[in-house]
Structures are given as C-alpha cells and as structure tokens.
C-alpha cells in the first residue's frame, strides 16, 4: 500500500500495524492518526476478520471473535475519532455488505456483524443529528466484489457475477464526499433491498436459487 501511494504522488505516508481483535488497539490507532495528521476529516472503516463462507457449524467462539473485529472495533474506532471529526465537520464511512440488509446462506456470523453495524451506526446518525453535531455517517452496502479473497470463498457456491473493486472504491469515495446516508454498489442493490421488504412471500426461494448446495 505504501509503495502504491508513493507511485500515485503521495508526499508523506504514515501507517501503524494494529490488530483489531484486541480491544485496546482501536483507540491507539486513532491516537496515532490524530497525532501524525493533526486531526481527521474522514474515518473509513473497512477491515474484516477471517471469514468462513460455509453453513453454520456451531462455532460460537468464532462468531464472538468475528464480532470483535467486524463490529466492536468499528464502534471503538468511531468513538475515539468523534471529537476530532466533530471539530473538523468530518465524516464516518462504514463499509458494510448486502448481507447486512438481507440474510443470506453461508454467512451466518458475517451477516450478524453487518446487521449490527447497520443498527448501531444508523441509530448513532439519528443521535448526532438530534444533538446538532456536524458529523456525517455514510453506510456503504456492497454486493459481491471481485477481490481475490471474495472470489476464492464463493467459488462454486454462488451463481452471481462479482463487481469490479475499483468501481466499488469510487462509489464509496463519491458517496462519502457527498455525505449521503447510504451508498449501494452496484446501484441496483437498493432495488433488491426494497423488493426484499415488499415481497416476503416467495423471496426466500428466489434468493436460495442463487446458491449451490447439495445436502450431505
């Protein structure tokens, strides 16, 4: 990442290794950023823990660890950054997933963490507005993206076409710059979410038809 930033013309680069499975790391990472940069205008949260794309196998401890990385660390990072973001009239950008709007097969634990993000940060958005604190929150709802990890995890299990990662990144940047509440990428995911709510009768069967599973 550092090398890529340099080739794109960055004059100075700061980074800090941080393990988001550790409760103490989020605050340390934010303190480092504020110290080096003098403040924050944007905080983009886009990290995830190791994700299993499989049927639920009863591993509660795995779900607990994933919730720490995918949810609790997001809350801790945002909380630590709120004072400097409010001072700069900044933005929180939360990268989530369609599985945080629509529960899907093979994603029980992952989906739970993404639903939690929506619940917490959408509620926090209300509170910031009511308190007249000028910090925007943009929740980014992404579909299947053609990263190496996502393609490897879903190979042979889903009948879906992955969308290009650079376009997803651009959608996130545009949405956060415009301070919109929700970004959907690809754009048609917003219509999928609406149909999911409005057509409850046969939606489960339609959704399951996109997944490849044979009972043992």
1-210 sits in which CATH class? alpha beta
Residue of 110, 185, 211, 213 with catalytic role: 110
pLDDT band at 38 (very low <50, low <70, confident <90, very high): very high
pLDDT in tens, 176-189: 999 999 999 999 99
Predicted model pTM: 0.94
Residue range 52-56: mean pLDDT, rounded: 94
Q: Judging by beta carbons within 10 Å of its beta carbon (0-12, 13-18, 19+), is residue 208 exposed, middle or buried? A: exposed
Asked whether 176 and 93 are in contact (CB, 8 A), the reply is yes
Per-residue pLDDT averaged across 22-43, rounded? 97
Whether 76 has a pLDDT exceeding 80, the answer reads yes
Q: What is the pLDDT of residue 214?
A: 76
pLDDT in tens, 99-151: 999 999 999 999 999 999 999 999 999 999 999 999 999 999 999 999 999 99
84's enclosing H/E stretch is helix 73-87
- Over 70: is that where the pLDDT of 71 sits? yes
> What is the arithmetic mean of pLDDT over 179-207?
95
- Distance in angstroms (rounded) separating the CA atoms of residues 46 and 48: 7
pLDDT, one tens digit per residue, over 114-127 is: 999 999 999 999 99
pLDDT value of residue 215: 65
Element (H, E) at 36: helix 25-37
8 CB-near residues (< 8 Å, 6+ apart):
none
Count CB-CB contacts under 10 A for residue 23.
11
Q: Based on the residue annotation, tell me whether 110 is a catalytic residue of this protein.
A: yes
């Amino acid at each position: 990442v550092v090398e890529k930033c340099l080739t794109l013309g960055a004059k100075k680069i700061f980074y800090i290794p941080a393990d988001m499975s550790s409760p103490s790391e989020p605050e340390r990472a934010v303190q480092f950023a504020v110290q080096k940069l003098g403040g924050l205008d944007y905080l983009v949260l886009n990290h995830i823990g190791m994700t299993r794309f499989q049927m639920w196998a009863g591993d509660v401890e795995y779900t607990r660890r994933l919730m720490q990385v995918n949810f609790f660390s997001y809350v801790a990072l945002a909380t630590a950054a709120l004072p400097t973001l409010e001072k700069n009239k900044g933005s929180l950008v939360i990268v989530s997933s369609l599985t945080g709007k629509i529960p899907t097969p093979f994603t029980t634990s992952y989906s739970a963490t993404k639903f939690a993000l929506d619940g917490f940060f959408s509620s926090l958005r209300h509170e910031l507005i009511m308190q007249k604190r000028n910090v925007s929150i943009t929740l980014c709802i992404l579909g299947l993206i053609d990263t190496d990890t996502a393609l490897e995890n879903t190979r042979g299990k889903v009948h879906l076409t992955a969308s290009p990662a650079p376009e997803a990144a651009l959608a996130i940047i545009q949405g956060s710059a415009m301070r919109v509440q929700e970004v959907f990428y690809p754009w048609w995911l917003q219509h999928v979410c609406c149909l999911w709510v409005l057509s409850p009768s046969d939606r489960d069967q339609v959704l399951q038809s996109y997944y490849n599973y044979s009972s043992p």
